[in-house]
Structure 1
Amino acid sequence: MLQYDLSHQAAVMTAVNDFIDYQLNDGFNQTDFIAHLSVLIPAFQVFDQEGTERCISVGMFRNMMRFVEAHRGDLGIEAYLMQLSPKEISNLQTHLRNHRSLYLAEIRLFRQQEKDNQDNFLAYVQRILIDHYKVLVVRVDLGYLKASMLNITVQDFYSHIESLRHLLKDKNGCFKHLLGYGLALEQGITKGYHAHLMLIYNGSERCQDWYLANEVILKWHEITQRVGYGVSSNTTEKKKQYADRGLLGIGMIHRNQPLEMQNALNVACYLTQPEKFMQRMLIKPLGKRTFFKGIYHEHGRKYKNNHPTSAEAGIWSEQDVDDLLDEPIVI
């Protein structure tokens, strides 16, 4: 039996996705199938919202919920499901399996979109790195306190993200001398809705990356009215860990240092990963994106890049990512 956290919207949508994924790939026996539906449908009803785009799996589940609602009459959800005949349960399971091709197509589309985002973002970051003798790279993860997740909907999350993007565009305060950024939105059971943010500052104008990271996190606290929190990758301790393993791609990055350049590109790679299908946004406001990058205006001067960088060389292993690019810790 799958185990669920059903305490907040992001967790419920992830639980629904996991249920559908398991049914399509392994398949529940009829008893477990009904037991899961009896728990998930009421939880889903609490957090379902109009005006949202739903991924294929959540949409499939929602259609099943609506079918149950249309047929249960005066019976409670669990009572209705428990009295279904084996054939009726089999029909429900078959209905889901008939949509497996759509689910697989969504996986392929996600991977292609993430690959396109990754290619575009790497080219964008590389242009900034080559254009400037030195840049200051800051990486923070932004999420919500566990105690507040119950009240955070995807609409709230996107409202907070839009406020953050306005500040990034204005380039004042802790975003002054910002050259570019990447912002990736994800969700999960333990972390809820969260964002990975990479900031690239003009290194001739900015220093003290640890201070800027902390200021960005404080700005997130302000935007979320103190229910949000952040984790900085730019602490002295973490940067020493990166440096000890030859992976330091944050802090001050110099154009004439090929390893620094490559590692900075590897940090950029992490924001868009085709393999992170299970951490994608399962629901979002209509027409909204899940990845954003800034607009960079080249200054027109051309520099010869004597140390060409490649997205293929020195890519971090999965263990490197787990060890050194910490996901937000739920507090």
Structure 2
Amino acid sequence: MSLEYSLYSESICLIRVESLVLAVVHHQLSNEELRTQLNQLIPAFQFHHRKDYIYNTPIQAFRKTLSCLNLTAWKSRNVSSSLLKKFVTELQQRYLPSQDRDLKQHIQNEQQNARSLHTGLSAVLQHYAKSLLIRIDLYFSAEAQVDLTIRHCHQHLKTLLNRLSNRDGCFQDLHWWAWALEQGAQRGYHIHLVLVYDGHKHQNDQHLALQVGNYWKDVLTAGKGAFYTANQSKDKDLYRKMGCLGIGMIHRDVAVEVGNALKTASYLAVSEKKTIQMLRVKLPRMRSFGTAQFDVSWRRGIQRSA
């Protein structure tokens, strides 16, 4: 099948399908523009579609509309205006009644995730006198994104979480972590990660962050990964001047540092950009956010209640 090159990327294809649906229901496309878009996106969507995929509301409406109008085997580039009208009507009927569902669920998830993150990170920072906090974004090279699917990305994430749990290599002396899996127009599927290390055993956060990033890039993804970390001198100097430095060494008794750390980590759960970073597709029972367990009573040697 011959597709526009960018549409071989599953992430780009799904984002463009979502954009098409929103443009259609808000009457932003002429018949000719819609015809051109459908000629590109229907074959691309069918190329990427998998039966076990769970799509967001706009893409689910698109899929059901194709099925209802028997357009899954779309080949014609000269589609009648009457068929386009049927497509628009059917798509609106399938999308509009449920258009707020994703946003409501997203807001509910944000609130729950924010509470979980704040509770866990607060417990860690108050339990240890010194903690070394690292913020890192893990994604994939532009070349790798072309063939990357949500299934591939999820497998990389599961491997990463297993390494975190094992606490070996560059994850030695790791106290706690939080992660969020998202999807953006530029970087496709990507992972935001906050790591909290033992501040008595580690002091060089930039070196440790680069170790983690390179482990992701060179080992976990076999050279297909890429990363960005804010734990670099130039970034930290800027945050320090702004009075909002919340990464690096965090001292329990310095309230400003603890407060800034909590604000810095909160971007995993809540930010203005989160709605456009939501996953358009998931696998069954797949999570897009998580934190490590932190049992204070166990770490103090206190017997846990049943």
SS class of match (2:64): helix
Quote how far apart the aligned CAs of 1:290 are: 0.4
Equivalent residues, number: 293
Q: Which amino acid letter does the alignment assign opposite residue 292 of structure 1?
A: G
Counterpart check, 1:283 vs 2:284: no
Aligned partners of 1:205, 1:56: CA distance in 2, in Å? 47
- Offset of 1:230 from its aligned partner? 0.9
Counterpart pick for 1:216 among 201, 209, 212: 212
Pair 110,153 (structure 1): closer, same or farther in 2 beyond 3 Å: same
**Residue aligning to 1:34:** 35
Find the partner of 1:92 among 75, 87, 90.
87
Counterpart of 2:277, as a letter, is Q
Alignment of 1:52-131 (within 5 A): 52-68=53-69, 70=70, 76-79=75-78, 82-85=79-82, 88-98=83-93, 99-131=95-127
- For the 8 Å contact 2:31–2:81, the answer to whether it is kept is no
Deviation at 1:277, TM superposition (A): 1.4
**Aligned residue number for residue 290 of structure 2:** 292
Show structure 2 runs of 5+ residues with no match: none
Offset at residue 72 of structure 1 (A): 8.1
Tell me how far 1:56 sits from its aligned partner. 1.1
Q: Supply the AA of the counterpart residue of 1:91.
A: K
| SS of equivalent residue, structure 1 residue 28 | coil
After TM superposition, the score normalised by the length of structure 2 is 0.89
Shift of 1:109: 1.0
Aligned residue type for 1:268: A
Of residues 183-192 and 23-32 in structure 1, the stretch that sits farther from structure 2 once superposed is 23-32
TM-score by length of 1: 0.83
Q: Give 3-state SS (helix, strand or coil) of 1:151's partner.
A: coil
Q: Tell me how far apart the structure 2 counterparts of residues 71 and 259 of structure 1 sit (CA, whole Å).
A: 58
Q: Which residue of 2 aligns with 1:226?
A: 223
Structure 1 71/54 Cα, relative in aligned 2: closer, same or farther at 3 Å? closer
Distance 2:284 2:192 in 1: 21
Structure 2: distance between partners of 1:49 and 1:124: 36
Q: Residue 235 of structure 1 corresponds to which residue in structure 2? A: 232
Over 3 Å counting, the alpha-carbon distance change for 1:202 and 1:261 in structure 2 is same
Q: Secondary structure at the match of 2:295?
A: coil
What is the rounded CA distance, in whole Å, between the counterparts of 1:17 and 1:71 in structure 2? 17
* Residues 32-56 of structure 1: CA deviation (Å, up to 9, x unaligned): 2222222211121222223221111
CA distance in 2, matches of 1:21, 1:185: 23
Query: Quick check: 2:56–2:281 contact (8 Å CA) kept in 1?
Result: yes
2:244 paired residue among 247, 258, 268: 247
Q: Name the counterpart of 1:185.
A: 181
The amino acid across from 2:241 in the alignment is D
Kindly provide the amino acid, as one letter, of the partner of residue 80 in structure 2.
Q
Q: Deviations over 1:89-112 (max 9, x none)?
A: 333212222222312122111111
**CA gap 1:39/1:71 in 2 versus in 1, 3 angstroms:** closer
| Deviation at residue 285 of structure 1 after TM alignment | 1.6
Question: Do 1:185 and 1:195's aligned partners in 2 also have CA atoms closer than 8 Å?
Answer: yes
Q: Could you tell me how far apart the structure 1 residues matched to 2:280 and 2:15 are?
A: 7
User: In the alignment, is the contact (CA less than 8 A) between 2:8 and 2:147 conserved in 1?
Assistant: no
C-alpha separation in 2, matches of 1:72 and 1:107: 28
**One-letter identity of the residue aligned with 2:130:** K
| 1:140 and 1:196 in contact (8 A); partners too | yes
Mapped to 2, the partners of 1:36 and 1:290 lie a distance apart of 30
The change in CA–CA distance for 1:72 and 1:135 in structure 2 (over 3 A counts) is: closer
1:271 to 265, 268, 272: 268
Question: How far, CA to CA, are the matches of 1:286 and 1:71 in structure 2?
Answer: 26
AA aligned to 1:29 is S
Asked whether 1:262 is paired with 2:263, we answer no
Q: Percent identity?
A: 26
Which range is displaced more, 235-244 or 56-65? 56-65
1:244-271: per-residue Cα shift (whole Å, max 9, x none)? 1111100000111111111101111100
SS of residue matched to 1:248: coil
Q: Which runs of 5+ in 1 are unaligned?
A: 303-331
Q: Is the 8 A contact 1:111 1:274 kept in 2?
A: no
Provide the aligned C-alpha RMSD in A.
2.1
Distance 1:240 1:159 in 2: 36
Contact 1:8 1:150 (C-alpha < 8 Å) held by counterparts: yes
Aligned equivalents of 1:51, 1:219: Cα separation in 2 = 31
Query: Matches of 2:176 and 2:58 in 1, distance apart?
Result: 34
Is 1:198–2:194 an aligned residue pair? yes
Query: 2:285 is aligned with what amino acid?
Result: G
- Please give the alpha-carbon distance, in whole angstroms, between the structure 2 residues aligned to 1:71 and 1:101: 22
Which SS does the other structure have where 1:18 is aligned?
A: helix
Equivalent-residue separation in structure 1 for 2:225 and 2:301 (angstroms): 41
Counterpart Cα distance in 2 of 1:219 and 1:261: 28
Residue identity matched to 1:6? L
